[in-house]
Structure 1
Amino acid sequence: MSHLEENLRALAARHPRLAAEIDAAAPLPSPLEPTPAGDPTVTADGVLLHSRHDPRREAARWAEAQRERLGERVDATAVVLGLGLGYHLEALAAAWPGPIVVVELDRALWRTALAARDLRAVLARVAVAEEPLTEEAIDAWGVPVVLPHAPSVLRGHGLRALGESIAGRAALRGLRLRILVVSPLAGGSHPIAGYCARALADLGHAVRLLDLSPFARGMEAIPCFTARRGARGAVEQAYMRFLGSGVLAAVEAEKPDLVLALAQAPLDAAVLAEIGRRGVLRAFWFVEDHRLLTYWQSVIAEYDYFFAIQQGAFLEEAARGSAARVAYLPCAADPAVHRPLALTAAERAELGAPLAFVGAGYRNRRIAFRPLLDLGLKIWGTEWAGAGQVETAVQRDGARISTEDAVRIFNATRVNLNLHSSTYVDGVDPRGDFVNPRTFELAAAGAFQLVDRRALLPPLLRPDQEVATFTDAAELHDLVRHYLAHPEERAWLAAAGRSRVLAEHTYRQRMQRLLETVAARDHERLGSRPREETVDDAAEREGDTPLGALLRRLAPATPFTLHGVVQGLLHRTGDLSDPEAILLFLHQFDELYVREQRA
């Protein structure tokens, strides 16, 4: 029996699904290389995974260094990033008596390793992290200590991000952060700020959304001062500096652990530097196309964390331009907003259509939608003036559509069009990579959509299995007619897309990933900052007293302040107890007579 067969049998005893996947996989394309002692090594993706001279000795040195990191903690689990050919796992198992888990995502590497060496002893001693790696699995490891096998991580394949997630989740346990979310004045990233704030609060953190939309009118009114572009630009810059001063005032008042800014939030390099001098971590989620909006280059150096919806050379350039941790973080949906709705007959009559699009009238959309007018097309949104014959399909005279109405339209429409915007192509952008928020929002609403194929779409939603796609605007007419005639296909694609989005692509999941990235690198800094006492802390101290009993009825992460406790009480139903009534009275007295003096 070969090494592969024996190892697969041993692996199948504990991880049958993984063993079956490896058995079906192809090996790495690169051949094994013999070392002087006869032990094999291999190069994968241009990275030599083990020494060409003595891989066992190299592994022993690695294990000795990791053993020092693990110390004598009895609750620790060694989480090794990368399987390689198993030498380092054998050495660690010999040096460390505690539990060991290996994380390896590449099935080709697994097959190559299991065919190269007898790893049955390792497979009996070491657990394998199953995919998808759940929060419950990480929690079951107690205190995970992430041990990267450097060559494996250097290959890529998601090991670095997964290691950050594991370390960050462990660091976040019991840590309730104070977070200030800064919105832009307007634009597509403005509602995302609200979704992020809600998700962070749902995760148990103290969050304030600094909604700057009331200041959008001021920016819109600046042309009233002058028609000269240069002079107008100077006034706009002064207005942005004024808003930056306001953000600093909010930072001073809130004393957050983290400031999260969304794309186009009015934070210039000077304001960000001042936030950093106050000991606050700064994160930026750039939910824009870097090719169109390049202002990120002037501020990235002042951020500690930079998240983007694009990958590849752009992220590499961003990493070179800053000491910030740079990471990919795609858009998402908020299931509390983007959801299936039961519409009234009147709503369906007004908002329903065989075919509809919600969004702005970019050049490529004006051109691509012309041949679709005979299919009952309705267009909702702004910036469609001058679109020629397409303008006849525009509803409500091109008024802005609220988020609530947009979700109603998604639900009322049989085929929702989703063509990513472009100002320089006539239809589908051949360079299109990022996936817009609308893709996830439509899916979460259980609505059927036709979306243009994007380079980063397949890992997020499987084309034509979880979302219907097109690659050329010329396809649209025939595709729309096909799906209008096949409601059963629309239904199963919409259901599959919704299931995937709810499982993997919500703002709660994105914010969890963001915080894990922050906590993995800055857990000591965050842990050393003064913490706000929660009702859970106070209830434990109070024991069986009436106050302790009252506090135990509230969410554990509720701040143990008069305002925090009262807000928790207001969300409860039923009659008030005497202690609850007393707290509400004290809170009202504080608001009416004391708070102004204290301020």
Structure 2
Amino acid sequence: MDRPAAPAYAAEAVAGPDGALADVRLTVSGKTRHLAGRGGAEAERERALALAAAGGLPVFVGAGLGAGIAAVAANHAGPIFVLDKEEAIDAATGVRKALADRPSVVFLDDADPRRAAARVTDAARQAGFSALAVIAHPAYPRLDPAWYGAVVTALRGYDALRARLRGPRFAGGPPRVLILSRPYFLYREIEAALTRLAITWRRVATGTGDTGDEGTVAAILGAITDFHPDMALTVNHLGLDREGRLAGLLADIGLPLASWFVDSPRLILHDYAALATDATMVFSYDADALPELASAGFRHTAWLPLGTDPHLFSPLAADPAAPHPWRADVSFVGASMAEQAREALARLTPFPALRRALPQAAAAFMASPEKSARAFLAADPGRGPAYAALPTAEARLDAELALTWEATKRYRHACVRELLPFSPLIAGDADWETVLPGMGKAWRATGPLDYYADLPGFYPRSAVNLNCTSLQMKGAVNQRVFDAPATGAFVLSDAREQLARLFDIGREAITYAVPEEIGPLVRHYLAHPAERARIATAARKRVLAEHTYDKRLTDLLAAMKGIFG
């Protein structure tokens, strides 16, 4: 880079009464200047501490007498950058030599000032787009206006970019939403709902591998700079790295993040760290998970159940009672959970005693009012000590998963067996053939169904749709209690506390408390089609009014604006 040559000057150390360095006399073009100015080293120290107190990455433009650098270094754990190329002054002050034992103090004197400044701004970005605490010495720009002027201009450019990234947020009108997207359930529904709500949104793909890499961060920062969102939105913390770098970056630039958990937060967040920033609000489909999220440090939490897209799940145009391979009096859609339980138990192979005990514990957990697998295992007198003695958090999570999936498998099998007198249609995995051996005439199988292509046409063709909720969510509700009624179908669901907060039980939803109640309820509602239709109609009316994804996203956006607007 071509730039005017800096004027030559002489630098002479000036000692104070005590013999310590008090000033540096600069002779420039026959004129005398002073490096320290009025107040000397003490004034330099106080000024540096005052400017650094606001926080951010300390950046000295000119080392001065070194008193300010030493004072800030004594109170700052991270790196400190010093942009200073003045060899004559350093020879008089000895600052670099005096600070040589402090590796956190980094001197930069590249011939190209833009390269020197870029090393600072790159470090600031890698530190979560940190603010810069610029401590500029007034004498240095006069010695070389081109070099120091370029440095200061570059640092100001970084601050300007950071200001553009920071906001303002929710300043007026509908919010603008940046979606941190990965291939996963619910993103399609979220994007469709935002479009219907006339909410401007943009998707940033965060890949499928490790998160938080430089390419992903650069793409997110580019979208923030260009799109100017009011908030970011993700599902199940997808796209966030486990170390919390991206969450910290979003917090640092003041971009609120909404994370909607549609699976157990415990199973997702167990090995994440530093994600609970003040700029994050977590929404959970399961209200029972909110206390644990709060204990993990999340200040802003809310219950946000699943819902449905009535543009996808709607009544059939054709007669649902017309002949069709899916036409059935009773049906169930779902995995047998046999494979999931096998795989979870296999992960406990290094702990044979606990593995042998888990099936019996699962039967007890299935009948227990305790909702948390972790709390159940910890309190269990027979298996608690073995669980507590597991060597790692990963092993303890494996035990919780094994308990949950084994209990869910047993519970689901017990529920589905109650349907056999009614020749049910079962849509699920091949393991159902093993679960219900020798009963081919008692039930029919369809194999797995596609959520989008098949289920909207499957539910309304069954007189009774059985719902059997996973035991990872003992108090919450799954997708089916919204999707099936949206098609006009009748659902018989297991009783869940949160279901009673969403529907009028008895008028809009019919529930069973234990598997043994399924048979009599199925028999009753098959024999009373008018009553069944009345309940299905009431349930659909409730779903359309309160349980669509349009309503869920409206509530989410209102909550975010209320806290961060």
TM-score by length of 1: 0.48
2:106 maps to what in 1? none
Q: Is the 8 A contact 2:204 2:219 kept in 1?
A: no
Matched with 2:293 is 318
Aligned letter for 1:263? N
Counterpart in the other structure of 2:111: none
Q: What's the CA shift for 1:240?
A: 2.1
The answer on whether the counterparts of 1:384 and 1:394 sit within 8 Å (CA) in structure 2 is: no
Is 1:208 matched with 2:206?
Answer: no
CA positional deviation for 1:377? 0.9
Could you say if the C-alpha distance between residues 486 and 457 of structure 1 is closer, same or farther in structure 2, counting changes exceeding 3 Å?
same
Task: Report the Cα offset of residue 181 of structure 1.
Answer: 2.4
Displacement after TM superposition at 1:199 (Å): 1.6
Deviation at 1:348, TM superposition (A): 4.6
**Pairwise mapping of residues 132-531 of structure 1 onto structure 2 (< 5 A)?**
175-186=173-184, 190=185, 192-210=186-204, 239-241=209-211, 245-246=215-216, 249-253=219-223, 254-263=227-236, 265-268=238-241, 269-290=244-265, 292-295=267-270, 298=273, 300-302=275-277, 304-312=280-288, 314-343=289-318, 348-362=323-337, 363=409, 364-382=411-429, 384=431, 387-389=434-436, 392=440, 393=443, 395-396=445-446, 398-422=447-471, 432-523=474-565
In the alignment, the residues of structure 2 paired with residue 403 and residue 434 of structure 1 have an alpha-carbon distance, to the nearest angstrom, of 23
1:556 — aligned with what? none
Corresponding residue SS for 2:263:
coil
Q: Give the secondary-structure state (helix, strand or coil) at the position aligned to 1:461.
A: coil
Q: CA deviation at 1:317?
A: 3.1
User: Structure 1 residue 251: deviation in Å?
Assistant: 5.0
Query: Structure 1 pair 497/344, CA: closer, same or farther in 2 (3 Å)?
Result: closer
The structure-2 alpha-carbon separation of the partners of 1:405 and 1:195, relative to structure 1 and needing over 3 Å to count, comes to same
Letter in 2 for 1:205: I
Over 3 Å counting, the alpha-carbon distance change for 1:413 and 1:242 in structure 2 is same
Letter matched to residue 421 of structure 2: D
Question: What is the Cα deviation at residue 338 of structure 1?
Answer: 1.5
Q: 1:347 to 1:453 in 2, by over 3 A?
A: same
Contact 2:423 2:444 in 1 (8 A): no
Matched-pair contact (CA < 8 Å) for 1:262–1:285: yes
What's the offset of the Cα at 1:487?
0.5
Q: Which amino acid aligns with 1:178?
A: R
> Sequence identity of aligned pairs in percent?
31
Q: Closer, same or farther in 2 for the Cα pair 1:483/1:197, shift >3 Å?
A: same
Q: Deviations over 1:34-69 (max 9, x none)?
A: xxxxxxxxxxxxxxxxxxxxxxxxxxxxxxxxxxxx
* 1:260-302 C-alpha deviation (Å, 9 max, x unpaired): 1112623222232233334422110111234554448646414
Relative to the length of structure 2, the TM-score reads 0.51
Q: Deviations over 1:221-267 (max 9, x none)?
A: xxxxxxxxxxxxxxxxxx22377843751452345322111126232
- Tell me how far apart the structure 1 counterparts of residues 228 and 478 of structure 2 sit (CA, whole Å): 33
Matched-pair contact (CA < 8 Å) for 1:197–1:208: no
What is the alpha-carbon distance in structure 1 between the residues aligned to residue 451 and residue 494 of structure 2?
24
Relative to 1, partners in 2 of residues 1:323 and 1:355: Cα closer, same or farther, differing over 3 Å?
closer
State the match for 2:155 in structure 1.
none
Distance change (3 Å), C-alpha of 1:346 and 1:449 = closer
Q: Is the 8 A contact 1:343 1:408 kept in 2?
A: no
Q: Deviations over 1:188-218 (max 9, x none)?
A: xx1x222122222222211234577xx67xx
Given that 1:368 and 1:473 are in contact with CA atoms closer than 8 Å, whether structure 2 keeps it comes out as: yes
Q: Secondary structure at the match of 2:418?
A: helix
Deviations 1:20-46 (A, max 9, x none): xxxxxxxxxxxxxxxxxxxxxxxxxxx
CA contact (8 A) 1:194 1:209 kept: no
Question: Partners in 2 of 1:366 and 1:247 — Cα distance?
Answer: 45
Residue by residue over 1:436-472, the C-alpha shift from the partner in whole angstroms, topping out at 9 and shown as x without a partner, is 1211111222110000000111121011110111111
Greater mean alpha carbon deviation, residues 362-371 or residues 329-338: 362-371
- Following the alignment from structure 1 to structure 2, what is the Cα–Cα distance between the partners of residues 183 and 384? 33
Greater gyration radius = 2
Amino acid in the other structure paired with 1:418: N
Change over 3 Å in CA distance of 1:185–1:304 after alignment to 2: same
- Label 1:378 to 1:386 Cα distance change in 2 as closer, same or farther (>3 A): closer
Distance 2:548 2:511 in 1: 21
The 1:374–1:245 alpha-carbon spacing in structure 2 relative to 1, beyond 3 Å, is farther
1:53 aligns to what? none
Instruction: Provide the rounded CA distance (Å) in 1 between the counterparts of 2:458 and 2:205.
Output: 26
Contact 1:244 1:271 in 2 (8 A): no
5+ unaligned residues in a row in structure 1: which ranges? 1-170, 217-238, 424-430, 524-599
Q: Do the aligned residues in 1 keep the contact of 2:329 with 2:464 (CA within 8 Å)?
A: yes
Structure 2: any 5+ residue segments left out of the alignment? 1-168, 338-408
Q: What is the one-letter code of the residue matched to 1:449?
A: V
Distance in 2, Cα, partners of 1:277 & 1:347: 59
